[in-house]
Amino acid sequence: MAESSEVKVLGTWPSPFVMRARIALNIKQVNYAFLEEDLGAKSELLLKSNPVHKKVPVLINGDKPICESLIIVQYIDDVWSSAPSILPSDPYDQAIARFWAAYLDEKWFPALKGILFAEGEDAKKALVDQVVEALMLVEEAFGKCSKGKPFFGGDQIGYVDIAFGCFLGLIRVIEKFNDIKLLYQAKTPELVKWAERFCQHPAVNGVMPETEELAELAKILIVKMRAANPPKS
Amino acid sequence: MAGESVKLLGFWCSPYALRVKWALKLKGIEYEYVEEDLVNKSPQLLQYNPAYKKIPVLVHHGKPVVESLVILEYIDDTWKQNPILPEDPYERAVARFWAKFADDKCVPAMMGAFTKQGEEKEKAVKEAQENLKILESGLGEKSFFGGDKIGFVDIAVGWIGVWVRLTEEVAEVNLVDAKTMPLLNAWFERFPELPTIKECIPPWDKLLEHNRNFHKRLTAGST
């Protein structure tokens, strides 16, 4: 059963990766304490719980720290194994879900993030094209995974929904800042509808930041990042 | 059920294909091996892995699974004998953590030590040493990452032991030795000596020759 106050999530409200852990816990209806970290002054608990990376999210269950967002989601699914499941039960479907989550993190997200810091219109356009093309692959995957149901996970939010959905706020912010379209009707109509359903899901709508709040924060971060990373020649 | 019809598309000296071979061997799974020409990729490969167009690809009952760590998990989920991942959820999370750490942090740095030159090379060597030292902390005093027996991390990361030696030889660097990383060094020696593991590793001199040539081509045209 849920060990309510024994479960903690160390994180920050805007982080998509932290959101993954929180959505997973919400799906399982596990009570947890959310400890907001100041990434400029990391807590002792964070440094002790994630000495290797010193990053959020960290899930602490009793005395056990678990790091890396997708690993955390799988852990949550393993521990609170009562329905609803996050990963599919069939090994092949599980492999497909793991594949897409890894693809999003390793191939798609770096391009998305890159748009924020791209120098020059050509570089930006190349990344935008990359992001949109990848989203079209994800749209195709949605068709196969959902099998006509509302989510990648079927009737319920699953692993890929969580892995991808956490980026929706960031996508909207990047679209707004750059006056571009990334996730839109013409290219990825099913994902547009899915995005709306995802954001309204009870496990999600409490932890998905408002686009306006996120935009304000993004502005500050971009200035900081640009100062710390001078343009490459 | 699991049944027959397992095919592995690979490349003889790919460490990522090697991981999968080890897992299949450990589980006693019979499979058809297909050597891919990575310069002229087969229509089969492109069809099975359109997103990455890479090996390894495991094809089971005609359905492709790609990305070596995903394949390892699939193999463990499908064939229950000789489990690779631990039973305990926390131990599983720890195993996944170290496999990811090795891939994300140790491998790029090791590749950097191999491919780069001058100051960049020195930086990569230092980074590789630091990250390998951290990896060592995941092993601790155990014989293997899996404990007394090999497990997920050993299978996922074990190739690094061989490739570190290749890099050290070809790029003339020192990454891991008995003085600086006694525990990891010992595991680097212990793991490839296991019969099921050793059988799958390509001959050292072939690997060395291939990597020397690769290194030569990389460093030939550089300023």
Q: A7-79 falls under which CATH superfamily?
A: Glutaredoxin (3.40.30.10)
Token couple for A141: 């995957």
Which parts of chain A fold into alpha helices (H)? 16-27, 44-49, 69-79, 91-103, 109-117, 121-146, 159-165, 168-178, 189-200, 202-205, 211-228
Asked if residues A141 and A160 have their Cβ atoms less than 8 Å apart, the reply is yes
**Is residue B44 scored above 60 in pLDDT?**
yes
**Is residue B7 scored above 80 in pLDDT?**
yes
Report the pLDDT value the prediction gives residue A2, as an integer from 0 to 100: 47
Report the pLDDT value the prediction gives residue B202, as an integer from 0 to 100: 96
Q: Quick one: closest CA in B to A135, which residue?
A: B51
CA gyration radius, chain B: 18
pLDDT bucket at A222, cuts 50 / 70 / 90: confident
Q: Is A98 on the interface with B (CB under 8 A)?
A: yes
Q: Is B34 on the interface with A (CB under 8 A)?
A: no
d(Cα A110, Cα A81) in Å, to the nearest integer?
A: 32
Topology of the domain covering A91-215: Glutathione S-transferase Yfyf (Class Pi); Chain A, domain 2 (1.20.1050)
Report the pLDDT value the prediction gives residue B222, as an integer from 0 to 100: 56
Asked if residues A134 and A111 have their Cβ atoms less than 8 Å apart, the reply is yes
Span B129-156, mean pLDDT? 97
SS3 A231: coil
What are the residues whose beta carbons fall under 8 Å from the beta carbon of B2, sequence distance 6 or more?
A: B29, B78, B79
Maximum Cα interatomic distance, chain A, rounded to a whole number of Å = 56
Nearest to A116 by CA among A222, A37, A5, A44: A222
How many CB atoms neighbour CB A200 within 10 A? 10
Which whole-number Å values give the CA distances from A163 to A35, A98, A184, B192, in the listed order? 21, 9, 19, 36
SS3 B149: coil
Report the pLDDT value the prediction gives residue B221, as an integer from 0 to 100: 65
Give chain A positions within 8 Å (CB) of B77: 91, 94-95
Task: Please state the domain extents for chain B.
Answer: 6-78, 89-219
Instruction: Chain B: give the shortest CA distance to residue A216, in Å.
Output: 31
Report the pLDDT value the prediction gives residue A217, as an integer from 0 to 100: 82
Nearest to B27 by CA among B86, B79, B72, B64: B79
Token couple for A142: 């949605």
Q: Is A30 on the interface with B (CB under 8 A)?
A: no
Report the pLDDT value the prediction gives residue A3, as an integer from 0 to 100: 46
Quick: pLDDT tens for A12-61.
Answer: 999 999 999 999 999 999 999 999 999 899 999 999 999 999 999 999 99
The verdict on a CB contact (< 8 Å) between B51 and A52 is no
Phi/psi at A60 (nearest 5 deg)? -115, 120
Quick: pLDDT tens for A126-150.
Answer: 999 999 999 999 999 999 999 999 9
Token couple for B92: 């599983």
Instruction: Chain A: give the shortest CA distance to residue B39, in Å.
Output: 22
Q: Is B67 on the interface with A (CB under 8 A)?
A: yes
CA gyration radius, chain A: 18
SS3 A89: coil
Q: Under CATH, which number does the domain B6-78 receive? A: 3.40.30.10
Token couple for B136: 């060592």
Give chain A positions within 8 Å (CB) of B69: 102
Report the pLDDT value the prediction gives residue B1, as an integer from 0 to 100: 45
What mean pLDDT is reported for chain A? 92
Report the pLDDT value the prediction gives residue A125, as an integer from 0 to 100: 94
CATH of the domain spanning B89-219, picked from 1.10.3720.10, 1.20.1050.10, 3.30.200.20, 3.40.50.300: 1.20.1050.10
Report the pLDDT value the prediction gives residue A177, as an integer from 0 to 100: 86
**Is residue A227 scored above 90 in pLDDT?**
no
What mean pLDDT is reported for chain B? 94
CA B194, B30, B146: angle at the middle one, nearest 5? 35
Report the pLDDT value the prediction gives residue B4, as an integer from 0 to 100: 67
**Is residue A233 scored above 80 in pLDDT?**
no
Nearest to A25 by CA among A202, A195, A171, A152: A202
Instruction: Chain A: give the shortest CA distance to residue B3, in Å.
Output: 14
Instruction: Chain B: give the shortest CA distance to residue A25, in Å.
Output: 15
Report the pLDDT value the prediction gives residue B178, as an integer from 0 to 100: 95
Span A103-118, mean pLDDT? 92
Instruction: Chain A: give the shortest CA distance to residue B13, in Å.
Output: 23
Which whole-number Å values give the CA distances from A35 to A31, A217, B14, B39, B195, in the listed order? 13, 19, 43, 50, 48
A vs B: CB pairs below 8 A: 59
Edge-first strand order for the sheet with A33-36 is A33-36, A7-11, A58-61, A64-67
Q: Is A79 on the interface with B (CB under 8 A)?
A: yes
Which whole-number Å values give the CA distances from A84 to A6, A59, A165, A203, B166, in the listed order? 21, 20, 18, 12, 47
Q: Which residue in the set A61, A67, A94 is minimally distant from B77, CB to CB?
A: A94
pLDDT bucket at A5, cuts 50 / 70 / 90: low
The verdict on a CB contact (< 8 Å) between B97 and A67 is yes
Report the pLDDT value the prediction gives residue A228, as an integer from 0 to 100: 72
The verdict on a CB contact (< 8 Å) between A92 and B60 is yes
d(Cα A201, Cα B77) in Å, to the nearest integer?
A: 30
Which whole-number Å values give the CA distances from A134 to A6, A94, A232, B51, in the listed order? 39, 20, 25, 9
Task: Please state the domain extents for chain A.
Answer: 7-79, 91-215
Report the pLDDT value the prediction gives residue A1, as an integer from 0 to 100: 46
Q: Is A91 on the interface with B (CB under 8 A)?
A: yes
Asked if residues B184 and B154 have their Cβ atoms less than 8 Å apart, the reply is no
> Do the bridges between strand A64-67 and strand B6-10 make them parallel or antiparallel, or are there none, so unpaired?
unpaired
**Is residue B203 scored above 50 in pLDDT?**
yes
Q: Is B100 on the interface with A (CB under 8 A)?
A: yes
Quick: pLDDT tens for A186-219.
Answer: 999 999 999 999 999 999 999 998 888 888 888 8
